[in-house]
Amino acid sequence: MSKKIILSGIQATGKLTLGNYLGAIDNWVKMQEEYECYYMIANLHSLTVRNDPETLRNNTLKIIAIYVAAGLDPEKNNIFIQSQVKEHAELGWILNCYTYMGELSRMTQFKDKSLKHADNINAGLFTYPVLMAADILLYQANLVPVGADQMQHLEIARDIAERFNKIYGKTFVIPEGYITKTSGRIMGLQDPTSKMSKSATNLNDVIFLEDEPEVILKKFKKAVTDSENIVKFDPENKPGVSNLMQIYGSVTSKTMEEVEKEFEGSGYGNFKTKVAEAVVEKLEPIQKKYKELLNNPEYLEKIYKKGADNARKLASKTLDTVKEKIGIII
């Protein structure tokens, strides 16, 4: 039986965070044996905000390096840059014509981002979920690992696929969202009620994958907790401590009960240091490999070119089928 297909991606905007790693990439690594995996760098999605061109180029390469450094084997996974598989933009346009303004207007991310970038509410920001649907549907993906904040976009991808299938007969696989245990819900260290975000204004809120050990330690020391001084998992009432426990649990593969036991009677000071040390220990080998990879752009190029060549095979097949069905001469 052929393997199930997974597709996911990360935008090329900004520096990757511990949240991206624990919530996404680390889980992908665990799936590479069982599934046929396509992981892209969503650099076309990045254009919905203004970027410095050089930074966008560098960020794209950095994400490829992180993917590989974190353990995604380029021989087993198709790692590619979205823009290098032109089928994405093309199917994106076609699907725009099968998506309603009304459904796009309901997207909470669009509403949030419009508030944040009030001076640049461009059409791309509005149709962002349609391009994401194209990303997914081109590969007939069965599973799409995403953070909870992307579930609404996944729903719209499913709706578009179902709509298309209903008109033209079965064309697309209906993708399932897949929220993993930590599921991207690594929260900010300063504001543990919202997701750790690379666009946070307070830099102490977020651990970047490139942060040096001293910086990581300093940020964890400053993490917001509460006045109870008890290490107990209770996201509702103790969001800060629970988030630190979740981070610790993810990097050490321990359950919340085990973490509670380990820190019974320990104050927050010691606990925070231990969390920081565990994170540093987990990130150090990845950072080392990451630096090596960035110094080897030829190798990175080999990876993403091969990834795009493989991705294109599947993507162009799907796109041809779509064109055939809707009356576009191939």
Which of 4, 15, 86, 198 is flagged as catalytic?
A: 198
Query: Does residue 291 carry a catalytic annotation?
Result: no
Q: Are 82 and 41 in contact (CB under 8 A)?
A: yes
Pick the closest to residue 283 from 172, 218, 208 (CA basis): 208
Minimum gap (Å) between residue 119 Cβ and ligand TRP: 21
Q: Are strands 143-145 and 176-178 parallel, antiparallel or unpaired?
A: parallel
Which tokens is 4 given? 């199930």
At its nearest, how many Å lie between ligand TRP and the CB of residue 150?
Answer: 5
Answer for the pair 228, 271: CB distance below 8 angstroms, yes or no.
Answer: no
Which CB, 41 or 207, lies closer to ligand TRP? 41
Q: Is 113 tagged catalytic?
A: yes
237, burial (CB in 10 Å: exposed 0-12, middle 13-18, buried 19+): exposed
At 75, list the tokens: 């021989």
For ligand TRP, the closer CB: 146 or 280: 146
Q: Which is nearer to ligand TRP, 157 or 279 (CB)?
A: 157
Q: What DSSP element (H or E) covers 81?
A: strand 77-81
Minimum gap (Å) between residue 23 Cβ and ligand TRP: 10
147 vs 249 by CB, closer to ligand TRP: 147
User: How many other CB atoms are found less than 10 A from the CB of residue 328?
Assistant: 12
Determine whether 195 is an active site residue: yes
Q: Which amino acid is at 7?
A: L
Closest to ligand TRP by CB, 274 or 312: 312
Least spacing, CB of residue 127 vs ligand TRP, in Å: 12
Give residues with Cβ within 8 angstroms of 35, minimum separation 6.
3, 4, 5, 6, 143
Residues that bind ligand TRP (CB under 6 A): 7-11, 42, 45, 132, 135-136, 144, 146, 150
| CB of 45 vs ligand TRP, minimal distance in Å | 5
Q: Which residues are catalytic?
A: 113, 195, 198
